[in-house]
Structures are given as C-alpha cells and as structure tokens.
A and B are shown apart, each in its own frame.
Chain A
C-alpha cells in the first residue's frame, strides 16, 4: 500500500514541534474565528494568508487548514449556546442544538456536535487518503477540453443544487466570471474592461472579494439582527462527555448517511452548508425519532454536523487533485498554493509529495487536536461571545481592513472591500449565493484558458467537448446538473401519471 507509506511520511513531516505548534495556533485561531461574527473560515484564511508568504508552504498549509477545521468546530458553539450560527453551515445545528441547550443539555449537545464533526471529518480524510492519489493519476490524462468540462460541471452543480432561484445563482456566478476577466488579458496582451483606470490593470483579487463579501457583509447582517447575545451557560463536564459518547453509537446509521452525503456534496461543489441541511432533512425523514426533530433531539445535532464537516473536509479533494476547489475556503487555500509557488493539480501528488501528504496527515492530527481543544475550552470561547458587539465589531472591521491591505499593499483594495461588503449584505438578503461568485472569480481565468485552448484545438467548434467518452460523459453530467430542477420536475410529472 503506497498510500500508507506516503501517509506515514506525512506524519513525520507534521510531527515536528514547529509544525505541531502551528497546528495548535491554527486550531485555536480557527475556533475563535468560527465563534466571532464576521470572521469565518474563508475570510479568516484570506486575512492570514499574507502572513504566510514567507513561510515554508507545508507549514503554511498545515496552519491554514487547521484554521479551517477550527472554524468548522467553532460554528457549532454559537449555534448551540446562542442560537446564532457563527457559520452558514451550522444553521441546521441550531434546530435541535439550541432547544437542547435551553433544556439544560448544552454539554450533551456540544459533545454530540464536536464528536460528530470529528467523525464526519475522519470519514472524509480516509476517503481523501485512498481516492485522491487515484483521482490525481487519472487526471494526468486530462487535456484542456477535459478540464473545461470539469469546470463546467463545477459551475453547473451550483445551479442544479441551488436552493433559491437558479437564475440568481447564474447571475452571481457570471458576475464572478466578469470580474475575473477585468484587467490584462495574458493571451492577447489587451486590456479588458479597465476603462483607463490603472488600479484595474491587475484585475480583482478574490481575496478582497472574500474579505468584503463574507466579512463586512456578515457584520452588517449581524448588526441588523440586533447587538445583544443572550446565551445558555456553557460547561462541559467529563462525565457528560462520557455519557454522551455512550449514546452516540446508536446513531451510527445517521452518522454514516451524513458522512456520505457530506463527502459527495464536498467533492461536487455543493459545499458544507447545503450538505448540513440535506443531512438534517434526510435524517429527519428516515429516523424513527423524526417527529421529535426540532425539539432537542440529539440525532438532529449529529446529522448536520457530521455532514457539514465531511463536506468541508472533502472539498479539499478536488482542490488538491484537479486544482478546482469545492468551497470558498478551499478556494482561498488554492489561492495560497499559487502564491507559495505550487501548481495545484494532478502533478502535485508526484512533485510535492511532502506537501500533499503532510497536509493529509495534518488533517488527521488537526481534527484530533481540534476535538480536544473544543471540548476543553468551550467556556473560554463562550465568554468571548459575551464581549459586547460594539467592541467586537470595530475590531473585526479593523482586522478586515488590515487583511485587505496586506494582500497587495494597496489602499484601492481596502475601498473595494467596503464595496464588496455592501454588495455582500444586499446579495445575502436577496438570496443571491456568494459561493459561486467567489469560485467563478477564482477559476474564471483558468476556465477561460481551458476554453480557449479547447477552441484552438477544435478550430472553434463545440463538438470537442463531446469528442471522447471521458469528456463527453463529464459534459453530459454537467448539462444534467444545469437542468436538474426542470428534469426533476419532469420526472415527477411522468411518475404522477
């Protein structure tokens, strides 16, 4: 088993005091970010990214990915204790987590949430360990048409899986593509949509968009919802943890189901948020206790948390193997890879073994460390939430401004961040999804390159996307995803007859 050997080498990379230290820093900062409104996985990583430019890439990715795990864990704390989802993917956790806390079972709910998160992540990491090398080897055969069809699949999945209006998803996505096109066109050397503004020459950086859309936008939403946080008491006693652990195995079916949903939603870029809702919804309809969901049923905490964490973790699989991120946070990590001088994609597994396997090993250790950290430090993080918002908000805004400035050392970016913040607030309230916008902004240039190269190969005919079995099946799958809503309605109507 080559994977096992590689993984062991990965553990050797991670198990140095320096990297272990960075791992702990990442986890603690991540939980903090997950707890605070306005700071989340995606913009937290984006803000810290400039500080890692000088670091060794392996150490940097270990710290930033642990920040991501920490944020995934942290989201559950605010959901359960305060009924405020710190992250969008923990909304479904509030349904049963908060009622449990109100019944004085906060400790149980938190333990269940953290443990389920851990289980979900573990399943996803195991999946990554054994399938990522296969996918990477397979993807080595990909040419531009195959890549473009995978991009197409990525974006069509967003449309097919969108909860709201598919046309709002399409509009948000196309804004991302349009913003990505701004600036110097590297192929022809022409300036696109700069209209004489020198600041626009380098185009829009997605890190700025992420900090504005998710950071400032979130702060504005929080302010509108009111400034006071009223929360349940948080203490986790060792006995409660052990008692809860005794109860959890009986929900193994729910865990397994949610893990699989999560893995699938993470790889196809559905992301953690829809995965958590799907995990909750399916558990509710299939569990014998389904009727009690929403009243403080532990299974209702297990289901969404497992799915969200599995999705969040498996989003890194397409990021590493194909260079296509499955979530905004994975997109920011991908941006990091490029900045550290690594080319994401199948070759990474051959040329940067230490980096890839160090990262995968750190996923195992990071989640174990994360579980221990959150179980022991909940009261501390709950106390942070009690700091009044009128102190926290300006400090977070300052952090966002610093983060936006450090990306390129440009004041123009800070102004852009404010604009993106207002746009993010409006879009969130009108149900325009932000994830496809960010992903299109990240992948826009590369999707366009793949498209142009394909067109050059075929002299301008679209038939190249159906040229061989592989590319044709991906393209067809993409089209099925694009028209998923009308297709499903059609099937339902046929069945009804």
Chain B
C-alpha cells in the first residue's frame, strides 16, 4: 500500500492507548457522579446511581485491559498518514465552521441552514473539487432551494433560518 510509505501522523498504538485513557476517564466520571447520587440500596430500593455505578466500573476495567493490549501490538502500524490527516481536516474544519454558521457561535453570525449550506457546498466544491464557478454556484444554490421546498413547503418542518430569509419574508 502507498499509505505505509507516506509519513505517519500517528501510530495505531498511540491512538489506541489514548482512546483507552479517554474511555477510562469517562468511566471515572460516571463512577464519581453515580457515587454522588448514591449507588447503594436506599430506603425505597436502588438509588439513582446504582446501575450507572457498575457501568462506570466495567468501563474502567475494560479500558485498562484495552490500554495494556494496545502496547502488545507489534510494529508501528500507522493510524493515519500525514496526507490523509490533511484530507480529513480539510473536511472536518469546514464542517465545524458550517455548523457554527447555521446557528451562530460567538463572533460567527447565525445565517440559517440554507445560506450556510450554500456557502459550505460552494467552498467544498471550489476548494477540494476545483470546479468552475458556474457549476459550483449552480449546485450550491440548487441544493438548498430543493431542501427549502422539501422541508418548509412540503413537509412543514421548520429549519433554522437567518437574515436572508427574514429579508425575503420567508420566515
């Protein structure tokens, strides 16, 4: 495979171990909160933390075993190569910005799902697909319009809308 020749961004071993630690911490959080609520037998039966307490306990035990097992794997197999990681991030980061634009977060204005989708699809096609502008704009405008008709008009399911819809009187 070509991937193994490329520079690795992280080894399977490392990611496996980190994930096991994160899961262990999750288990710890579950145990602590269950204990706070009461994980014993109350006056009227099992307390609120009774069941989750054991869930947390099993999480901790299983992730400890997974952590140890992660180091038993021989060889430094690559979890993700540098170039793949770049590809993944070039999708994840725009997606995060996209979700931010729908509802607005901090300095990012809320544009509503339709306008945000137009920007997202256009950027994606232009940046990763290298399409010409007419094609890009055509798809980026057509898809949200179809969804608008489908959801707002046909099924009457309201989706988040922003200033553009307000200006057009579509709210």
- The residues of A that contact B129 with a CB separation of less than 8 Å are 388, 390-391
Residues of A154-202 contacting chain B, CB below 8 A:
165, 167-168, 170-171, 174-175, 177-178, 181, 185, 187-188, 190, 192-193, 195
Task: Determine if A187 and B143 form an interchain contact, defined as CB atoms under 8 angstroms apart.
Answer: no
- The residues of A that contact B99 with a CB separation of less than 8 Å are 401, 411, 414-415, 418
Q: CB < 8 Å: which of A170, A393, A452 contacts B50?
A: A452
**CA gap between A223 and B91 in the complex, in Å:** 9
Stretch at the interface among A24-32, A64-72, A344-352, A422-430: A422-430
Stretch at the interface among A93-101, A117-125, A274-282, A402-410: A402-410
Task: Determine if B147 and A167 form an interchain contact, defined as CB atoms under 8 angstroms apart.
Answer: no
Task: Determine if B159 and A402 form an interchain contact, defined as CB atoms under 8 angstroms apart.
Answer: yes
Closest A residue by C-beta to B56? A178
Q: Report how many residues on chain A are interfacial, defined by Cβ distance under 8 Å.
A: 56
Residues of A64-102 contacting chain B, CB below 8 A:
none
B19 within 8 A of A: yes
Q: CB < 8 Å: which of A216, A224, A398, A421 contacts B121?
A: A398
Q: CB < 8 Å: which of A167, A190, A388 contacts B48?
A: A190
Residues of B107-164 contacting chain A, CB below 8 A:
113, 117, 120-121, 124-125, 128-129, 131, 139, 143-144, 147, 151, 155, 157-160
Task: Determine if B47 and A168 form an interchain contact, defined as CB atoms under 8 angstroms apart.
Answer: no
A50 within 8 A of B: yes
- The residues of A that contact B120 with a CB separation of less than 8 Å are 394, 397-398
Determine the main DSSP class of A at the interface with B: helix
A472 within 8 A of B: no
**CA gap between A393 and B127 in the complex, in Å:** 13
Task: Determine if B98 and A192 form an interchain contact, defined as CB atoms under 8 angstroms apart.
Answer: no
Task: Determine if A188 and B125 form an interchain contact, defined as CB atoms under 8 angstroms apart.
Answer: no
Do A175 and B59 form a contact, CB below 8 Å, given A51-B157, A402-B113, A452-B46? yes
Residues of B60-105 contacting chain A, CB below 8 A:
62-63, 65-66, 69, 79-80, 84, 87-88, 91-92, 95-96, 98-99, 102-103
Determine the main DSSP class of B at the interface with A: helix
Task: Determine if B16 and A177 form an interchain contact, defined as CB atoms under 8 angstroms apart.
Answer: no
Task: Determine if B45 and A422 form an interchain contact, defined as CB atoms under 8 angstroms apart.
Answer: no
Q: CB < 8 Å: which of A195, A394, A451 contacts B124?
A: A394
**CA gap between A283 and B103 in the complex, in Å:** 53
Task: Determine if B59 and A401 form an interchain contact, defined as CB atoms under 8 angstroms apart.
Answer: no
- The residues of B that contact A415 with a CB separation of less than 8 Å are 99
- The residues of A that contact B121 with a CB separation of less than 8 Å are 391, 394-395, 398
Residues of A96-142 contacting chain B, CB below 8 A:
none
- The residues of A that contact B69 with a CB separation of less than 8 Å are 165, 167
Task: Determine if A460 and B37 form an interchain contact, defined as CB atoms under 8 angstroms apart.
Answer: no
Task: Determine if A170 and B124 form an interchain contact, defined as CB atoms under 8 angstroms apart.
Answer: no
Give the distance to chain B from A11, nearest Cβ to Cβ, in Å: 29
Task: Determine if A401 and B102 form an interchain contact, defined as CB atoms under 8 angstroms apart.
Answer: yes
Closest A residue by C-beta to B58? A174
Task: Determine if B124 and A393 form an interchain contact, defined as CB atoms under 8 angstroms apart.
Answer: yes
Q: Report how many residues on chain B are interfacial, defined by Cβ distance under 8 Å.
A: 63
Task: Determine if B65 and A430 form an interchain contact, defined as CB atoms under 8 angstroms apart.
Answer: no
Task: Determine if B65 and A460 form an interchain contact, defined as CB atoms under 8 angstroms apart.
Answer: no
Q: Which of B15, B48, B50, B56 has most chain A Cβ within 10 Å?
A: B48
Task: Determine if B23 and A171 form an interchain contact, defined as CB atoms under 8 angstroms apart.
Answer: yes
Q: CB < 8 Å: which of B15, B33, B124, B155 contacts A193?
A: B33
- The residues of B that contact A195 with a CB separation of less than 8 Å are 33
**CA gap between A220 and B58 in the complex, in Å:** 30
Closest A residue by C-beta to B32? A193
**CA gap between A177 and B159 in the complex, in Å:** 31
- The residues of A that contact B128 with a CB separation of less than 8 Å are 227, 390
Known: A190-B37, A393-B91, A414-B99. 13 other contacts (CB 8 A): A167-B62, A178-B59, A224-B87, A227-B128, A395-B143, A398-B121, A398-B143, A401-B102, A405-B102, A405-B159, A430-B12, A456-B46, A460-B41
B contact set with A: CB distance below 8 Å: 12, 15-16, 19-20, 23, 26-27, 29-30, 33-34, 37, 41, 45-52, 55-56, 58-59, 62-63, 65-66, 69, 79-80, 84, 87-88, 91-92, 95-96, 98-99, 102-103, 113, 117, 120-121, 124-125, 128-129, 131, 139, 143-144, 147, 151, 155, 157-160
- A sample of 12 cross-chain residue pairs with beta-carbon separation below 8 angstroms, ordered by A number, consists of A167-B66, A174-B55, A175-B26, A220-B91, A388-B129, A390-B124, A402-B147, A406-B157, A409-B158, A421-B95, A427-B19, A430-B12
4 pairs of A and B residues whose beta carbons are closest in the complex: A390-B129, A411-B103, A394-B124, A171-B62
